[in-house]
Structure formats: C-alpha cells, structure tokens
C-alpha cells in the first residue's frame, strides 16, 4: 500500500513521540497560547457543552446568541470544516472518483487505525511523564484524536487546501494542542495549549 505523504507526516510526528513536546524553534504564530492544562480543559469542557446545546437548540436567535459568546466551540468548527472538505470532494469529479475508490478507502481506513494506535501510545507516554494529570490526559484522548483524524482526513482527500485544518495541524506539529477558538469564527485565533518544559521537573504536572 502506498502511503499518502501528507498523512505520513502526521504518522511520523506521532511515531517520534512529539505530541505536546514543543521545541525551541516552535513559534505558534497566529495562535493564543495557554500554559495551564487545567485552564485549557475547563475551556474545552465548556465549549463541548455549548456545542451540544447548539446542536439541540432549533431557535436561530438562540443559536446566534450562543456562538457570539466568548467560548466558541471548536468541535462545531471541526464539523463545519469537515463538511467543507466533503463539498470540495463532491465538486470535483476526479476527487470524487478517488474518494469512492475501494483501494483509496482501504488506505484511508488503515491510516486512521495507525494514527489512533500511535496517539494512544503517545498519551500513555505523557501520562508517565505527567503523573499528576493522568485523568485529564485520558479525557483528552477523544478530543485530540478527533482533531488529528480530521486533519488527516482533509490532507488525504484534498491535500493542503483547507486552511483551518492546516493551521491546526501545524500547531500539533510544533508541539502544541489546539483546544479552542477565540473570536467569532472565521475571525479570531486558535487557542493552543503549550506545556512548559519545566513542568516535568517541578512536579506541577
């Protein structure tokens, strides 16, 4: 099986254990940085609750009220941008043929499985490094997994065309975790958790 090189970059990143390991060269340009894991998770939980409320509230006025508040739900943006990828696929006959191709579907399924396996291995490694936040890191798994798989999905089917997923992926590749959005989408910035290297030594995490 030929591995899609753009998705392979995600796999190599996880194989090398770079999840939540920023380097001195990481800039996180175009993002608002948070260093406290608990603060990031509180924001994430509130945003998730809001996304559920958005999905269940049929009133347009209430919908606009919810999305205008400070904690903009990242998961609503993920779904919106995945739908945009589907629209791009369906608007181009060549891409549509590739998407429906059984060999391509099998390759994408295998890549999804590999990314999920590597992600769980990375989280287990982080739990050993940050023993005081085991429960939080376990809770992070489905959120991080959904984000990385969405980025891989976009890259597999339309390359680097989707700017949101590319920006999100670059934050991951630099060692951060994009956990939220500040502003009324598409205006604003990603909120990115960047763990300080001193956390391991100090025992803060």
Q: For residue 62, tell me if it sits in a domain.
A: no
Instruction: For residues 177 and 34, give the distance between their C-alpha atoms in angstroms, rounded to a whole number.
Output: 10
Is 47 within 8 Å of 75 (Cβ atoms)? Answer: yes
Q: How many domains does the chain fold into?
A: 1
Q: For residue 45, tell me if it sits in a domain.
A: yes
Encode the chain in three state secondary structure.
CCCCHHHHHHHHHHHCCCCCCCCCCCCCCCEEEECCHHHHHHHHHHHHHHHHHHHHCCCHHHHHHHHCCCEECHHHHHHHHHHHHHHHHHHCHHHHHHHHCHHHHHHHHHHHHHHHHHHHHHHHHHHHHCHHHHHHHHHHHHHHHHHHHHHHHHHHHHCCCCHHHHHHHHHHHCCCEEEEEECCCCCCEEEEECCCCHHHHHCCC
CB atoms within 10 A of CB 109: 10
Give the pLDDT score at 93: 55
- For residues 137 and 122, the model is more confident at 122
Is 123's pLDDT higher than 70?
A: yes
Is 204's pLDDT higher than 70?
A: no
Q: For residue 114, tell me if it sits in a domain.
A: yes
Give the pLDDT score at 9: 93
Q: For residue 204, tell me if it sits in a domain.
A: no
Q: How many residues in the chain?
A: 205
- How does residue 200 score in pLDDT terms, banded at 50, 70 and 90? very low
- Owning domain of residue 93: 5-55+69-199
- How does residue 102 score in pLDDT terms, banded at 50, 70 and 90? low
Cβ neighbours of residue 147 under 8 Å, at least 6 residues apart? 78, 168, 172, 178
CA 65 to chain CA centroid, nearest Å: 25
Q: Which residue has the tokens 């590739």?
A: 98
Q: For residue 158, tell me if it sits in a domain.
A: yes
Looking at the whole model, is its pTM more than 0.85? no
- How does residue 97 score in pLDDT terms, banded at 50, 70 and 90? low
Is 2 within 8 Å of 98 (Cβ atoms)? Answer: no
The arithmetic mean of pLDDT across residues 82-86, rounded, is: 88
Q: For residue 166, tell me if it sits in a domain.
A: yes
Identity of the highest mean pLDDT range in 90-94, 103-107, 171-175, 198-202: 171-175
Q: For residue 94, tell me if it sits in a domain.
A: yes
Is 128's pLDDT higher than 60?
A: yes
Q: Write the pLDDT tens digit of every residue in 9-63.
A: 999 999 999 999 998 889 999 899 999 888 888 888 887 787 777 677 666 666 6
Q: What is the mean pLDDT of the chain?
A: 81
């Amino acid at each position: 099986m030929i591995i899609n090189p753009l998705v392979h970059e995600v796999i190599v990143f996880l194989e090398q254990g770079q999840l939540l390991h920023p380097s001195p060269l990481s800039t996180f340009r175009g993002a608002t940085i948070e260093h406290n894991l608990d603060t990031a998770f509180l924001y994430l939980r509130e945003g998730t609750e809001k996304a559920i409320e958005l999905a269940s509230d049929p009133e347009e006025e209430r919908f606009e009220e919810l999305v205008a508040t400070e904690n903009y739900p990242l998961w609503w943006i993920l779904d919106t941008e995945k739908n945009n990828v589907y629209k791009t696929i369906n608007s181009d006959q060549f891409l549509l043929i590739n998407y429906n191709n059984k060999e391509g579907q099998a390759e994408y399924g295998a890549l999804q499985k590999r990314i999920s396996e590597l992600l769980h291995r990375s989280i287990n490694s982080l739990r050993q490094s940050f023993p005081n936040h085991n429960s939080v890191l376990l809770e992070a798994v489905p959120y991080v997994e959904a984000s990385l798989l969405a980025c891989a999905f976009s890259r597999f089917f339309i390359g680097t065309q989707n700017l949101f997923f590319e920006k999100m992926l670059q934050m991951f590749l630099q060692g951060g975790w994009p956990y939220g959005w500040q502003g009324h989408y598409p205006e604003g910035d990603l909120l990115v958790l960047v763990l300080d290297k001193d956390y391991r030594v100090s025992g803060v995490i």
